Structure 1
């Protein structure tokens, strides 16, 4: 008597695909960090960012085919949320290592660059708010590496769930058979 292999859960599929998507996010993060001094890395990083919806579409289609094609919208949406969560956990480890050990001043440098950009865009050199932000940064007000990682994981899951709604709607549509 042959037994059927037990069906994998949505979380199990998301974990498996999340490894590949997490590696993708790690490559994107690495290129983003190198993009400060390299135009090509910046361009490739932006292309990878724009490609995320298409990659999510491909992964969801593949999941739907593996599960026999009988996948509802809610299952695809949950799969997308899990996928972004597991991929973000993996990329979060790489980001933590970078922030903590490879370039410990990266967060402070980025925050200082943002404050400079705000100052240039608003022409508010004497702004009291900008001075308060600069003082806070000088006193160690920048987030710690682990806080940055948690913020990134939260943002990835939140925006990934919104993107998953759209992609799940597209993937879950049933194709109509054309008859002559």
Structure 2
């Protein structure tokens, strides 16, 4: 028996968040590969910079397709926030699998090697700054895969909140009144 229940904002955000999460997983693949093929690291950065653009595209599509071309700032903000939340949860599964079964310390070791090589040619204040970064990466490398995954979830949600504000402002569109 079909129901005529309208699909909610959360359900649409979940759908678009799934697409965003798949995109995040795809781009995450380029992060570790970028240490052996530097062009892939550049691709990772470019895809990361594309995330807010993709978020805007999704909220605009939601506005035009499901909201009759108009959406308030709060509704656009909420949709974007939910979308990033659902994307973060999906990407967290891939992050956990990667850090638990695949990484074995590769990312932290790679960053530490790069920092050590930079430190060798650094002078003055730069050396102490690099030492601080090395200590931070030592701390990060001591985290369990589950702790790393939760750290990335919270980071993605935090940046999602920050990105939802300008996205909501740019995507909002009110009915023109004459």
Q: What TM-score, normalized by structure 1, do the two folds share?
A: 0.80
Unaligned runs of 5+ in 1: none
Distance 1:43 1:140 in 2: 23
| 1:130 Cα deviation from its structure 2 partner | 3.8
CA-to-aligned-CA distance 1:46-77 (integer Å, 9 cap, x gap):
22112112111110001112122342111111
Distance 1:147 1:25 in 2: 19
CA-to-aligned-CA distance 1:4-47 (integer Å, 9 cap, x gap):
82222221111111111101000110011111111221222122
Residue 72 and residue 119 in structure 1: after superposition, are their counterparts in 2 closer, same or farther (change >3 A)?
same
Distance 2:44 2:127 in 1: 35
Asked whether the equivalents of residues 21 and 87 of structure 2 are also in contact (C-alpha less than 8 Å), the reply is yes
Matches within 5 A, 1:29-178: 29-65=28-64, 66-110=66-110, 112-113=112-113, 115-116=115-116, 119-120=119-120, 123=123, 130=131, 137=138, 142-174=142-174
Unaligned runs of 5+ in 2: none
Larger deviation, residues 142-151 vs 109-118: 109-118
Q: What TM-score, normalized by structure 2, do the two folds share?
A: 0.81
CA-to-aligned-CA distance 1:143-167 (integer Å, 9 cap, x gap):
1111111111111111111111101
Count of aligned positions: 172
